[in-house]
A and B are shown apart, each in its own frame.
Chain A
Amino acid sequence: MIKNEAMKIVSQQEIAESIYELTLSGSLVSEMNQPGQFVHIKTGNGYEPLLRRPISISAIDKENNTFTMVYRAEGKGTSLLSQKKNDAAIDVLGPLGNGFSPEAAMSGETALLVGGGIGVPPLYELSKRLTKLGVNVIHVLGFQNAATVFYEEKFQALGETYITTVDGSRGTKGFVTDVIDKLSDSYTTIFACGPTPMLRALESAYKETKEVFLSLEERMGCGIGACFACVCHTADDPTGFHYKKVCSDGPVFRAGEVVL
């Protein structure tokens, strides 16, 4: 069930250049069951900024009633959020959307998790769930440069991890696809979150041979499926009126389900 709660900040820290890890506690955590879902956050108190910000859930800790997000402080809202101190209350609406189903991969199989920039965070909870189910995981994570890399060790602790940076300052120089092309074909499923061009590349290369799940990003109004801000065409009706809403039907879709 979707809830609205003033959640308390347990910790907030900058873990890479402009990248913040924020842990909140509250009863809303009991509603979080799926990796890849997101929350809609009110970052200011007044009318500025007016709209909430969608941020993925990157880790769920039911025992302690906390969950963690990792976000880039860039614009007005996320910058405000990054200035909040411990014990402050944050207005959270969630959990929202349909995330990744770890059950799409079977025990003993291998899953490839591909993340680009701020698309990396939701893969962390997913990877934890997959490894718990006995699925082998390979991570390919793309960043701009060494300064913006985060969670490398955390992912390494769960499985094989490759880092790419656009400028080559860490890991392989180039894009995630440069690494994936060279991997052995051992995996059956791909889970990905990141910029649309990356998702498009994965879809066109692996849609036919692998099970591919993609988490999309779109500008949102309501975040709950009521305003039609975030729609995309379905792939079987690419110019017609059939649609999916990224916020409530997604953000995760099977490759080939919607037009990217």
Chain B
Amino acid sequence: MNMLDIQLPGLDLKNPIMPASGCFGFGKEFGNLYDLNVLGAIMVKATTPEPRFGNPTPRVAETSSGMLNAIGLQNPGLKHVMADELPWLNQFDVPIIANIAGSQVEDYVTVAREISKVSNVKALELNISCPNVKEGGITFGTDPLVAKNVTEAVRAVSEVPVYVKLSPNVTNIVEMAQAVEAGGADGLTMINTLMGMRLDMKTGIPILANKTGGLSGPAIKPVAIRMIYEVSQAVTIPIIGMGGIMTAEDVIEFFYAGASAVAVGTANFTDPFVCPKIIEELPVLLKKLGYNHISECTGRSWNKHEQFANHRA
């Protein structure tokens, strides 16, 4: 019996585990290591209308149980992603979630309109939460009205369901979630990275050339759990959870908080085989905990008794 299959808007997942955007490129490198067909889905690197080089290096700095990154949305641009990266991924029976970014509403609309036509792109992930670009990015993700507007604009042109990626760098995460739900979002993905900084012991100056960067990894997991717990009770759309997942146990905790699927980011750097490992371990863990299906875990932290938010068809 399949204990892991999950249906979400646009996404028919054989399991709810997918690599998070920016931590898996467009799949080619990890495709050399294992068969990508095992994955539930793949969230590919952010795509912008034009190619972007991103920030100067150093772009990463290690922190306690985490890391900072300031890649700056480097990507080869919409044209190349459509002509090369996405067709390459077509050899796998895995839905692709295209992460889209920009510095103005028109950028998001341009990318969404084009990329949502690609056959293996089954959903969009609207990245309104990147802390590492000067214009756009996070400003879309911290003002509820702006977030709602960009969601509406993208929803109007997209041919596939739209998930909005929320930034944790806000005072009221529920307000943001409700705003994008009102804007027509089909789902939420959360959380993106938390803004942080590290200073060099010898020189005293920031390690990252961009000075600040986004914190990810196990260090941010409690923040993600808390936010998903709050948001999942306040919206009716499903949540793909992320932030510090390293193990199958972490996945279950995200489901308990209210997630219906999860993404694994930074852990791919520590262990490039982490996604297949988690997928293999989950059924064993679920059985041990007494569940027949992973969907039974969703929202257990606040809705223990009712069978709810089980987004299976």
Q: Does B280 contact A (CB under 8 A)?
A: no
Question: Is B106 among interface residues, defined by CB-CB distance under 8 A?
Answer: no
Asked if residues B54 and A2 are in contact (CB atoms below 8 Å), the reply is no
Cβ of A248: which chain B residues have Cβ within 8 Å of it?
29
Interface: B65 (CB within 8 A):
yes
A49 CA to B63 CA, complexed, in Å = 8
Find out whether the CB atom of B268 lies under 8 angstroms from the CB atom of A1. no
Number of B residues with CB within 8 Å of any CB on chain A: 40
Judge whether B217 and A1 touch: CB under 8 Å.
Answer: no
B272 on interface, CB distance cutoff 8 Å: yes
| A226 & B30 in contact (Cβ 8 Å cutoff) | yes
Take A226-B25, A229-B71, A241-B51 as given contacts and tell me if A219 and B57 are in contact as well, using a CB distance cutoff of 8 Å: yes
Across-interface contacts of B52 in A (CB, < 8 A): 241
* Distance in angstroms between the alpha carbons of A49 and B25 in the assembled complex: 23
Chain A residues within an 8 Å CB radius of B269:
50-52, 221-223, 227
- Residues of B contacting A223 in the complex (Cβ-Cβ under 8 angstroms): 269
Q: Is B32 an interface residue (CB 8 A)?
A: yes
State the CA gap A1–B268 with chains docked (Å). Answer: 18
Residues of A within 8 A of B32 (CB): 1-2, 224
- How many Å from the CB of A74 to the closest CB on chain B? 11
Flag whether B293 is at the interface (Cβ < 8 A).
no
Complex CA gap A228/B276 in Å reads: 22
Asked whether any CB of chain B lies closer than 8 Å to the CB of A243, the reply is yes
Indicate which residue in A1, A49, A76, A228 contacts B59 across the interface (CB closer than 8 Å).
Answer: A228
Asked if A224 meets B272 with Cβ closer than 8 Å, knowing A50-B266, A229-B60, A230-B57, the reply is yes
Does A240 sit at the interface, judged by CB under 8 A?
yes
| Bound complex: CA A223 to CA B33 (Å) | 13
Chain B CB within 10 Å, residue with most, of A226, A233, A240, A241: A226
- Given the known interface contacts A222-B272, A227-B22, the answer about A47 and B246 at a Cβ–Cβ threshold of 8 Å is yes
Instruction: State whether the Cβ of B116 lies closer than 8 Å to any Cβ in chain A.
Output: no
The answer to whether A240 touches B59, judged by C-beta atoms less than 8 angstroms apart, is no
- Report Cα–Cα, A140/B287, bound state, in Å: 62
Report the Cα distance A229→B62, complex, angstroms: 12
- Residues on A with beta carbons closer than 8 Å to the beta carbon of B53: 231, 233, 240-241, 243
A225 to B57: give the CA distance in the assembly, Å.
Answer: 15
Which residue of A225, A226, A230, A243 is within 8 Å of B268 (Cβ)?
A226
- Name the A residues within 8 Å of B66 (CB-CB): 50
Other 20 A-B pairs with CB < 8 A, given A224-B33, A231-B59: A1-B32, A2-B33, A50-B63, A50-B65, A50-B218, A50-B266, A51-B269, A218-B57, A219-B60, A221-B269, A222-B29, A223-B269, A224-B29, A225-B28, A226-B23, A227-B69, A229-B57, A229-B69, A233-B53, A240-B53
Q: List 29 A-B contacts (CB under 8 A).
A: A1-B32, A4-B272, A42-B271, A47-B218, A47-B270, A49-B62, A50-B65, A50-B66, A50-B217, A50-B266, A50-B269, A50-B270, A51-B67, A221-B23, A224-B272, A225-B25, A225-B29, A226-B24, A226-B29, A226-B30, A227-B71, A227-B269, A228-B25, A229-B59, A230-B59, A231-B53, A240-B53, A241-B77, A248-B29
Query: Which 7 pairs of residues, A with B, have the shortest CB-CB distance?
Result: A226-B25, A241-B51, A226-B29, A47-B65, A229-B60, A241-B53, A219-B58
